[in-house]
Chains A and B, each alone.
Chain A
Amino acid sequence: MVWYLFPVAAAVSLVWNATRYESTAVIIRKAIRLYVQTLLFMAVILGVLMFFSWRL
């Protein structure tokens, strides 16, 4: 189920930035940045959870 994260994050990033800006180039650029930020954030959260659940 975790694989749903990738398309959902992509869709949310695109729609969010498309409602902020009109220029297609700006939308794409900022959407890619938000997508990467979202995945990094989720990866950090995953790392923290794995750290605290180590050998549980």
Chain B
Amino acid sequence: MSDPRIPLKNRFLAAFLAFLCPGAGHFYQGRRVKGAIFSVCIIALFLTGMVMADWKAVQPPGRFGFNGTILHYDDGRPDAPGNGLRTLKFAAQASMGVPAVISIVQNQRFRGQVDKYELKISGPTSYPFSGAAQVTTESGFREGEAEGTLTLEPIQGNLGGTTIGGTFVGTIDGTAVEFQLRSAKFGPTLGADSQRTIEVSLLDSTESPVGSLVGGIPRPFGNHFMMTMSPDEEDALQNKLGKRHELAMVLTWIAGLLNVLVIWDAADGPAYGYGDEEETTETDKPAATGGTEPLAETSKA
């Protein structure tokens, strides 16, 4: 509803700004109180949902590779169908422009991964590591938590190719250790978890295998932030969060759907008008009939 008292300015730009960030369109129009209401309420709802869901609440439809292959669990099972449901879930969040666009970009990267199990490094690179170790030494078999630093680099493999090896300096079950590494295997380059899985063989001073490390090294921020989840990651998240995951999703859906109203308001003004029309109309009526009674509030809602 247009009202000369409401400055819509460039309504298309305002709607676009509201799409990018709730309330931004209203701030552009100079409607600061409404801009503050929208930005605080909607962003708070959305961020609460995102934080509760470990920043994995926005998942665009389409977990299929560009060649049409369906994603698989790590054990080889095909991902369950349900792209239609994913589309509906995403549709409710899609009016939150910035996160929606980021997640679509990340989804495109995820689906287009090439050589996703490789670690592309040209020289020695250090990574903090945490995980588990199994090792057999002269003092016997040991198994426990491992923490330390992996220094990885490309090395010559046993069969002539290149593999990733290096050194591990850290602790296993609290005991300081240092091992040579060989034949590192990695999880995908892109994933929703902040840790990329790694499995690597431990060698003793004679370069004989004595055990293995299994754990994670940090993914770069851009390689995990709002990234599409693999089927395994999605299962793990639901197992970890339980019903809080559902609540988190609902909060982001509410925020997204409310922002549809906000975009509309930025483009076309408030649905029922300025808000004083009823009072003006009612004021006029008693005045016309000689009455001076205070107004009874009416609601169109």
Q: Which A residues form the contact surface with B (CB < 8 A)?
A: 1, 4, 7-8, 10-12, 14-16, 18-27, 30, 34
Contact = CB atoms under 8 A, between A and B. Distances in A.
Contacts of A7: 44
B42 A11 contact: yes
A24 B6 CA distance: 13
A33 B93 CA distance: 27
B50 to A, nearest CB: 14
Nearest 9 A/B pairs, CB to CB: A26-B275, A21-B275, A23-B275, A11-B41, A19-B261, A19-B265, A22-B274, A20-B272, A15-B258
B203 interface: no
Residue from A7, A14, A18, A25 with most neighbouring chain B CB atoms (10 Å): A18
A14 B264 CA distance: 16
A11 B44 CA distance: 9
B45 A20 contact: no
Contacts of B271: 19-20
A15 B271 CA distance: 12
B38 A18 contact: yes
Contacts of B275: 20-23, 25-27
Chain B binding site: helix, strand, loop or mixed by DSSP?
helix
Interface in B267-281: 269-276
B295 interface: no
Interface stretch (B113-121, B176-184, B204-212, B243-251): B243-251
B247 A21 contact: no
A31 B36 CA distance: 15
B301 A22 contact: no
A8 B251 contact: yes
Contacts of A14: 37, 41
B122 interface: no
B105 interface: no
Given A20-B301, A21-B272, A21-B274, 12 more contacts: A4-B251, A8-B45, A8-B254, A11-B42, A11-B44, A11-B258, A12-B254, A15-B38, A18-B34, A19-B270, A21-B270, A22-B270
B125 to A, nearest CB: 43
Interface in B223-255: 243-244, 247, 251, 254
24 contacts: A1-B244, A8-B45, A11-B42, A14-B37, A14-B41, A15-B37, A15-B38, A16-B258, A16-B261, A18-B34, A19-B270, A20-B270, A20-B271, A20-B301, A21-B270, A21-B272, A21-B273, A21-B274, A22-B3, A22-B273, A23-B274, A23-B276, A27-B34, A27-B37
Given A18-B265, A20-B271, A30 B301 contact: yes
Contacts of A4: 247, 251
Contacts of A1: 243-244, 247
A25 B297 CA distance: 13
Nearest to B265: A19
Contacts of B265: 18-19
A23 to B, nearest CB: 3
